[in-house]
């Protein structure tokens, strides 16, 4: 197995363990992302916005929702698409790059869309 496959699977497992509450530290806040100088992903916010996690009314801590349990039962590619779509939606709401093709949004057709932000510095 390629090194990137091992790392990808380990990071995905870390995210799923965080969702079910097995770890307290959100994935990406430590380890390789920080070592590469990448901006950490807003994992907690992403899971909450996707409806997969929410704050427990009694303890106030992050807890998996019913939708989160259903999410765990789907295959990894479907899980990835759920989070990717929500991440793009969140980026657009915060003024990030749009996933819409040119001309399909309110921006002038003569003006190209801004380039998408890159989460890691170029080397």
SS (H, E, C) 18-54: HHCCCCCCCCCCCCHHHHCCCCCCCHHHHHHHCCCEE
Cα-based distances in Å from 59 to 45, 55, 90: 18, 8, 27
Q: Which helix (H) or strand (E) holds 63?
A: strand 62-64
The verdict on residue 13 lying in a domain is yes
The verdict on residue 102 lying in a domain is no
| pTM, two decimal places | 0.64
The verdict on residue 75 lying in a domain is yes
The verdict on residue 11 lying in a domain is yes
Q: Which domain holds residue 65?
A: 3-93
- pLDDT in 10s for each residue of the chain, 123 residues: 677 788 788 888 888 888 888 777 776 654 555 555 666 678 888 999 999 999 988 988 889 999 999 999 999 999 999 999 998 998 888 776 544 433 344 444 445 555 555 555 554
The verdict on residue 16 lying in a domain is yes
The verdict on residue 98 lying in a domain is no
- Per the structure, the count of domains in the chain is 1
The verdict on residue 68 lying in a domain is yes
């Amino acid at each position: 197995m390629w090194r990137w496959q091992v790392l990808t699977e380990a990071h995905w497992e870390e995210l799923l363990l965080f969702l079910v509450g097995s770890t307290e530290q959100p994935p990406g806040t430590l380890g390789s992302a920080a070592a590469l100088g990448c901006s950490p992903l807003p994992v907690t916010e992403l899971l909450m916005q996707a409806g997969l996690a929410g704050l427990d009314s009694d303890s106030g801590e992050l807890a998996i929702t019913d939708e989160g349990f259903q999410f765990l039962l789907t295959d990894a590619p479907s899980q990835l698409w759920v989070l990717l779509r929500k991440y793009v939606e969140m980026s657009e709401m915060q003024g990030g790059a749009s996933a819409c093709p040119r001309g399909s949004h309110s921006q002038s057709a003569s003006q190209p869309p801004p380039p998408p932000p890159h989460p890691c510095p170029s080397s």
